[in-house]
């Protein structure tokens, strides 16, 4: 049973130095920017609304955001790493009525709505901590119940995001290896 309401949080602020440019602007094989794919995966997977965290490419990315229940926030300190994006995103949704956020990354082009739906269905409520795994390997998306947001914010640092917090708390692993690889893409093929 998925948490009610569930907010999607797409982290898309980085400069993509290994990629040769911001990953939010990379166009996938289907011709759509990864930014659009990430938002669609969250919405089609059951999120009531999506907040996108932008940074390096904010001016170019905003016009790409699809219509619907999609907002964005710019992480001014995006260059400090993934934790800066996560902090900006959680701050942006703190005033919402969301019981949980489904955190995903823009550079996961093979993670679709089916993965989001499966992770959301596996847990419920503000006490939830769950994440997709791929052949047993932890990955994204990560479902953070509201009860954990403060702890995640206190632990987040550098490019690690919520990794430290998740390492010391019980997290429901939701196997999704039959749906996607869950690999983030850092370089162009």
Say whether domain 6-175 belongs to CATH 3.90.550.10. yes
* Model confidence at 171: pLDDT above 60: yes
For the residues of 4-16, what is the DSSP string, one character each? SSEEEEEEE----
How much is the mean pLDDT over the chain? 86
Beta strands in the chain (DSSP E): 6-12, 49-54, 70-74, 100-105, 129-134, 137-145, 172-175
DSSP code, position 185: -
Handedness of CA 58, 9, 132, 42 (dihedral sign): negative
Low-confidence winner among 41-50, 94-103, 151-160 (lowest mean pLDDT): 151-160
> Any idea where the domains of the chain sit in the sequence?
6-175
- Count of CB atoms situated within 10 Å of the CB of 63: 6
- The band of 15, judged by pLDDT with boundaries at 50, 70 and 90, is low
Q: What are the tens digits of pLDDT across the range 30-78? A: 778 888 999 999 999 999 999 999 888 878 888 888 888 999 999 888 7
**Phi, psi (5° rounding) for residue 53?**
-100, 120
């Amino acid at each position: 049973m998925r948490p009610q309401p569930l907010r999607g949080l797409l982290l898309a602020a980085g400069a993509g130095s290994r990629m040769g440019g911001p990953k939010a602007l990379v166009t996938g094989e289907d011709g759509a920017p990864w930014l659009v794919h990430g938002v669609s995966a969250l919405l089609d997977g059951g999120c009531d609304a999506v907040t996108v965290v932008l940074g390096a490419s904010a001016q170019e990315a905003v016009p790409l955001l699809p219509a619907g229940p999609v907002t964005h926030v710019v992480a001014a300190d995006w260059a400090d790493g993934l934790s800066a994006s996560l902090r900006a995103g959680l701050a942006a949704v703190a005033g919402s009525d969301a019981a949980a956020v489904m955190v995903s990354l823009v550079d996961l082009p093979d993670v679709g709505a089916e993965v989001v739906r499966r992770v959301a269905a596996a847990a419920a409520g503000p006490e939830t901590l769950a994440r997709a795994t791929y052949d047993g390997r932890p990955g994204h998306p990560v479902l953070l119940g509201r009860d954990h947001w403060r702890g995640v914010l206190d632990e987040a640092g550098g490019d690690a995001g919520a990794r430290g917090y998740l390492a010391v708390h019980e997290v429901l692993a939701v196997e999704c290896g039959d749906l996607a690889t869950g690999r983030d893409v850092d370089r162009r093929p």
